A and B are shown apart, each in its own frame.
Chain A
Amino acid sequence: MPRKTYRQAINEALDCEMARDENVIVIGEDVAGGAGGSGEDDAYGGVLGVTKGLVGKYGRARVIDTPITESAIMGAAAGAASTGLRPVAELMFVDFLGVCFDQIFNQAAKFRYMFGGKARTPLVIRSMIGAGMSAAAQHSQALHPIFTHIPGLKVVMPSNAYDAKGLLIQAIRDDDPVIFLEHKALYDTQAEVPDEAYAIPFGEAEFVTEGDDVTIVAFSAMVARAKAVAEDMEKEGIEVELIDPRTTSPLDEEAILESVERTGRLVVVDEGSPRCGMAADIAALVASKGFAHLKAPVAMVTPPHTPVPFAPNLEAAYLPSNERIAAAVRSVLGETVPAE
């Protein structure tokens, strides 16, 4: 099977669905490479580089460059979705949520329920999350818990290229608004990705590694870090079961509870801020529905409750490191006192 980058996988998903359904459009800043300049068309496929080539195939009527106007992009995409198109709107950096949240959470998310089931809003909002590139406080956040908090939104966070393609195809075919969060540190990572279209259902976790000693639940870019820790631990004879939920809403509760029932020990690794985040949410899930199986307190590995710092050393200290994940695993195994 061919190996492809996360970026290519997302591009292929868009291509597959645009070819399949003429109602699928792509809209956002520079997605057709920028309009109105003096140079070449489709120069770079947007700042994420994932839409390159689409405008050549599908034209500017379906790959629509916009001004820098996030409220209008999100609102127009929501309005278009509720009237018969299936827009994929790009909210370049998730941090820009701050200038357009109303159109997402008060408008798109609410139509189906608030209008008594008549409205369908098949909208996908693609956006980039995450730290690790010194993009600093306004271009590095992982805001998935905010979306997850909103009823009516589905939230997807692929951790690898294979999942990115299958989950994006599923997102485009879904009739609800879907927030599709791409981690900026993953665009050049590779995996085996089939050429043909395939859809991965929402709410089905991936068991990345299997084991009976400790359960780790990790999201997005944290999956690779947790996997590295799991592989190190295996050398010591500690068997880690690593779960990648892939979607935070819906969340595969069953997979997590079933695993903890076997292991009795849980570490949650997430890049979101600690308060009211996914780590706290999953800890609460297991405390309320799986408490009897727990042999140790749940360990949460998250950044501190601070904005994302700029300086590379500070940013490295901000992100959950392999060392902190390993220390958390040891703490739930009772090997050492937790460091924090």
Chain B
Amino acid sequence: MQLDRPTLIEAYRRMRLIRDFEDNVQAQFEQGRIPGFVHLYAGQEASAVGVCLHLSDEDYIGSTHRGHGHCIAKGCDVTGMMKEIFGREGGLCRGKGGSMHIADLDKGMLGANAIVGGNPPLVVGAALTVKTKGLPHVAVSFTGDGGSNQGTTFEAMNLAVVLNLPAIFVFENNGYGEGTGVSYAVGADSIADRAAGFGMPAKAVDGRDFFAVFEAAREAIERARTGGGPSAIEVTCMRQHGHFIGDAQAYRSREELERVRADDPLRLFRERVTGEGRLDAADLDAVDAECAKAIADAIEAAENAPVPCQDELTTDVYVSY
């Protein structure tokens, strides 16, 4: 499928926005301005964007602890996200969720999820809502290679097949579940093959290649929208950073870490679209500048936002004591 110019620019814009967001979050974290645990998505941008470009606000996604990229790809406001990560008023969850729990239901973003394997059953539920109401929407679960081993994920895949739901299971295989390698932790030869064993079409694609992800997602999402049931996509990608900010990554070789930089999906995208004459370098440079400003503005807004008022402690939940 040949993508038009606006779509190519939008794809690059979202990937660049994710990269800038993550690079800046890392810098802010290292300066001690961000509390808690933060897991960066840099290196995996082609997966989130290649899938979410097919989705509208009425479609749902569920995400992981490494969720910033999914949020941005699904259209969450980066300033609201940054305020949330800083723990400030005006954050998407009013400062009560943080990096691992960013959600925006108006955008169909059902939440980052700090439990590995936590979201697949929930996404099956969103797909059940869609089917029960007879809507043409879909629900996408993003999980990692680590989450692919969880029983909840197996149950979710089976139930999605049994009920023929419009659910798509995207397994972002970045080579590591925390610090443990996939070759050790995934018993099957392929996460996609294992998913196929549940009775759904499954494909493995190269997650460095935006176009490969985009095409596989198009096929799976189209199938789901037209009543064809669930699919799985294994997206092999590279985690540029450690499991969390501060992870020394001694479990990865120097050669591998160098390769991660060389295999940058943004660089590969830029080379391909300019090489094929579909976009000019100037177009992409303009996007770079736009994204850099958007993230700088988001950080400034987050830094200047007040902390949540003390009353927030006991709102949005039944409290009796």
A residues near B (Cβ < 8 Å) are 25, 27, 61-62, 64, 66-67, 69, 71-85, 87, 102-103, 106-107, 111-119, 151-152, 154, 176, 203, 249-251, 253
Contact = CB atoms under 8 A, between A and B. Distances in A.
B96 interface: yes
13 contacts: A67-B162, A69-B159, A71-B156, A80-B125, A83-B129, A84-B129, A85-B129, A107-B115, A115-B97, A115-B103, A119-B103, A203-B320, A251-B320
| Chain B residues touching A, majority SS | mixed
**B60, B132, B156: most-surrounded residue (chain A CB, <10 A):** B132
Given A69-B158, A116-B96, A116-B316, A75 B101 contact: no
A76 B152 CA distance: 11
A76 B318 contact: no
A123 to B, nearest CB: 9
Contacts of A107: 113, 115, 118, 122
Question: Which 9 residue pairs of A and B lie closest in terms of their CB atoms, listed nearest first?
Answer: A75-B121, A79-B125, A116-B94, A79-B122, A116-B93, A72-B155, A80-B125, A76-B125, A117-B316
Nearest to B141: A79
B125 A78 contact: yes
A85 B94 CA distance: 25
A152 B319 CA distance: 8
Given A113-B316, A116-B316, A83 B60 contact: yes
B128 A85 contact: yes
Contacts of A66: 159, 162-163
Contacts of A69: 155, 158-159
B110 interface: yes
B129 A80 contact: yes
A104 to B, nearest CB: 11
Interface in B98-143: 101, 103-106, 110-111, 113-115, 118, 120-130, 132-133, 139
Contacts of B128: 27, 64, 76, 79-80, 85
Interface residues of B, number: 48
B43 interface: no
Interface of B: 60, 62, 91-97, 101, 103-106, 110-111, 113-115, 118, 120-130, 132-133, 139, 151-152, 155-156, 158-159, 162-163, 315-320
Contact of A79 (B114, B126, B318, B319): B126
Nearest to B320: A250
**B104, B113, B163: most-surrounded residue (chain A CB, <10 A):** B163
Contact of B125 (A61, A81, A115, A251): A81
Nearest to A251: B320
